[in-house]
Amino acid sequence: MRDVIIYLLAITVAEVVTVTVQPVWGIASHILVLVAALLHPAIASEYRYRRLVLSLALVPLIRIISLSVPLVNIPQIWWYPIIYIPLLVAAVAAMRILGYEPKDIGFTVRVTPVQIAVGLSGCCLGLVEYLILKPPPFIDSLTWAEIWLPALIFMICTGFVEEFIFRGVLQKTGIEAFGWRGIIYTSLLFAVLHIGFFSWIDVVFVFTVALFFSLVVKKTGSLLGVTLSHGITNIVLFLIAPFFF
């Protein structure tokens, strides 16, 4: 257990270095964590912790790819597919290596009133996060022609891929290792990756939302509702709310 706590602290330090010192040192820090997460399972004593550590390799990989891929002169909205396609491939590879079937990590389509309600909660969550961060809009005007493609990208990339990684693969290995405390662990990991927004209020907010998403997936066994909610949150945050507040 001590080892995986060290990984959480190491990822936190790497994020702080990235945003407060220099991105290149942040990348180097995350590379060290990635290498350790890939090699450590070969010598770790407990099977359940080996699996969690291996899945943790996905977390530094998120920052390494986002900081290393050349994105200059590329419209910001296209950064997401460029970054998240390799992450999706890595998450699928991790799922296969760990021996999970899609249904084991929430790939089930259960359209129920609960899933619909969870999905629609993204409207409120996006508004709250906008009031915390006040980011500029990703689009020039609030029209269907401007919004549909960025909305689709947010839904697939930040909605589906991030939920696949955190509430899918990481939550599964976290619960196997820690029981219910695995939900807290993976929620902390998710919150730490939001340090770059320079708002501790947002980090606390994201941690709370992550706990909510994790509990929904644990209870329903499906990523559907949280994927919709996560995607809608970012659609409201970056595409809709900036034009009204």
Cα gap 156→80, rounded to integer Å: 9
Q: What is the pLDDT of residues 87-101, one digit of tens each?
A: 999 999 999 999 999
Region 219-237: mean pLDDT is: 96
Lowest mean pLDDT among 106-110, 128-132, 217-221: 106-110
What is the value of pTM for the model shown?
Answer: 0.94
Q: What is the pLDDT of residues 48-71, one digit of tens each?
A: 778 999 999 999 999 999 998 888
pLDDT digits (tens, 9 = 90+) for 115-134: 999 999 999 999 999 999 99
* pLDDT, mean over the chain: 93
pLDDT at 111: 80
- Using only C-alpha atoms, what is the Rg of the chain? 17
